[in-house]
Amino acid sequence: MNNNEKHIHEPLFHITKRADIVWWKAWLVRLVAIVAALFVCAVVIVTITDYNPLQVYKTMFEGSFGSERKVWILLQNLAMLLCISLAVTPAFKMKFWNLGAEGQVLIGGLASAACMFYVKDSMPNWLLIIVMLVASLLGGVIWGLIPAFFKANWGTNESLFTLMMNYVAIQLVSFFIMVWVPSGSSVMGVINQASGSGWMPDLFGKKYLFNILIVAVLTVVMFIYLKFSKQGYEISVVGESENTARYIGINVKKVIIRTMIISGAVCGLAGFLLVSGTNHTISKELAGGMGFTAIMVSWLAKFNPIIMVITSFLIVFLQRGAGEIATAFRLNESVADILTGIIIFFIIGCEFFINYQINKRSKQKEAK
């Protein structure tokens, strides 16, 4: 028997799950990953272009921090991405794969735009904004509720359902633009450009400050809700195991529906902010893929709203940098996208080394 044991071949290395990792070690791994990513990017930059990588990184940085305006754009974009990420988070925590944020945001935006288009200035601005907000929240809720209702009652697959609801939302937006713009250009243009009714007011002369503050408050509220409230706890339990949840007396159906109402409502809020506070128009591209990027933001932050500030900052920072590089070096934005891809790859990849440990074949055993 002993002989046999000796012959068992031990691989060069094997992987075990880490029980826990000290916080600074985890961040050290992430830092190393970013440095490694920048190094690989530098190699790519030198190989395919003649530019100095340091110059490229500097330009990338300037894309977000080059001027006061750029900082505000960064903050605004960050707020919107964060808002949608906050929206999908409770659903994800419950393991309800809400891939329909894009559509929920669109419907929210459409509701706001409809109010702006029909009401025009026949109502005081503050009242119109409240009406728009309510309409957007309702729109988002309905779009989130439909798949939740089916999931809770008949166990339908929510990923497919929410995904398909996106297309319905896109078509609805196209339809309404066609109705509102009979020339057929399918461009809505700025709504109420002259009167500005339904536009979120500037705060201290800053266009996007309202958006940013609302999302900042929302982030804290969502953090507290998920971490400290009873409902937040129920979400975690349902996410871990529906049977456990049922066993301890949680009404799973109710939790699913309630959580998707919250998820949809926050998406609706994002739609409202995008229409009333940012673009003042509606188009199919309103959410611009943020509904999907938000999934990454949420996962990378392990569903922690506060960490999501950092992860959404990272994504927006890279996007803004990519655009800046394209203009400054006359490179196609695809080049910048390659760099963004490399950086995100490393950042996601390093989570592996945080969660798992690589054990080398020990020499002692070999000697035995």
Partner 1 sequence: MKKITAMLLCLAMLFAFAGCGSKDTSSDGSDAKVVTIDEVEKTVPAKMEKVEKANFKIGLICLHDENSTYDNNFIQALKAAQAELGLKDDQVLIKTNIEESSACYEAAAQLADDGCNVIFADSFGHESFMIQAAQEYPDVQFCHATGTKAQTAKVANFHNAFAAIYEGRYLAGVAAGMKLNEMIEKGTITADKAVIGYVGAFNYAEVVSGMTSFFLGARSVCKSATMKVTYTNSWFDIAKEKEAALNLINSGCVLISQHADSEGAPKACEEKGVPNVAYNISTISMGPNTALISSKIDWAPYFKKIINAALEGGTIESDYCGTMAEGYVALTELNTKVAAAGTQEKLDEVKQKLMKGEIKVFDTDTFTVDGKKLESYTADIVDNGDFVPDSEAIKDGAFAESSDRSAPYFDIKYIDGISE
Closest by CA to 340, choosing from 285, 273, 298, 293, is 293
42 CB neighbour count, 10 Å cutoff: 16
**Which of 55, 229, 241, 327 is in the footprint of partner 1 by CB under 8 A?**
327
98 lies in the binding site for partner 1 (CB under 8 A): no
* Residue 177 · residue 186 · CB < 8 Å: yes
31 lies in the binding site for partner 1 (CB under 8 A): no
Per-residue string for binding with partner 1, 271-310, x by CB under 8 A? -------xxxx-x-xx-x----------------------
**Which of 153, 229, 332, 362 is in the footprint of partner 1 by CB under 8 A?**
332
Which span (26-34, 43-51, 118-126, 222-230) binds partner 1, by CB under 8 A? 118-126
For the chain, how many residues are written?
A: 368
Q: Cα angle at 107 between 289 and 158, to 5 degrees?
A: 70
**Which of 115, 133, 215, 235 is in the footprint of partner 1 by CB under 8 A?**
115
Closer Cβ to partner 1, 38 or 115, answer by number: 115
- Strand, coil or helix: what is 10? coil
Return the half-sphere exposure (C-beta side, CA atoms, 13 A cut-off) of residue 78: 23
CB of residue 101 vs partner 1: minimum separation in angstroms? 18
164 lies in the binding site for partner 1 (CB under 8 A): no
Closer Cβ to partner 1, 48 or 187, answer by number: 187
41 lies in the binding site for partner 1 (CB under 8 A): no
Q: Compute how many residues bind partner 1; rule: CB under 8 A.
A: 44
Instruction: Tell me the C-alpha distance between 55 and 63, whole Å.
Output: 12
Q: At what angle do helices 333-355 and 23-48 cross, to 10 degrees?
A: 150
206 lies in the binding site for partner 1 (CB under 8 A): no
For 312, the token pair is: 């959404």
181 lies in the binding site for partner 1 (CB under 8 A): yes
Which span (93-101, 138-146, 197-205, 236-244) binds partner 1, by CB under 8 A? 138-146
114 lies in the binding site for partner 1 (CB under 8 A): yes
Which span (6-14, 47-55, 92-100, 323-331) binds partner 1, by CB under 8 A? 323-331
**Which of 21, 73, 307, 354 is in the footprint of partner 1 by CB under 8 A?**
73
Closest by CA to 111, choosing from 270, 317, 344, 310, is 270
Instruction: Tell me the C-alpha distance between 140 and 35, whole Å.
Output: 40
Instruction: Tell me the C-alpha distance between 336 and 328, whole Å.
Output: 11
Q: Cα angle at 167 between 162 and 170, to 5 degrees?
A: 125
235 lies in the binding site for partner 1 (CB under 8 A): no
Closer Cβ to partner 1, 234 or 239, answer by number: 234
Which span (24-32, 220-228, 332-340, 342-350) binds partner 1, by CB under 8 A? 332-340
* Residue 226 · residue 303 · CB < 8 Å: yes
Instruction: Tell me the C-alpha distance between 324 and 63, whole Å.
Output: 5
Which span (21-29, 178-186, 222-230, 298-306) binds partner 1, by CB under 8 A? 178-186
* Residue 206 · residue 277 · CB < 8 Å: no
Q: Tokens 């109420």 label which residue? A: 192
**Which of 142, 172, 250, 338 is in the footprint of partner 1 by CB under 8 A?**
142
Q: At what angle do helices 252-272 and 101-119 cross, to 10 degrees?
A: 50
Which span (131-139, 222-230, 242-250, 295-303) binds partner 1, by CB under 8 A? 131-139
Binding site for partner 1 (CB under 8 A): 67, 69-70, 73, 114-115, 118-120, 122, 131, 134-135, 138-139, 141-142, 145, 174, 181-187, 189-190, 193, 278-281, 283, 285-286, 288, 323, 326-327, 330, 332-334
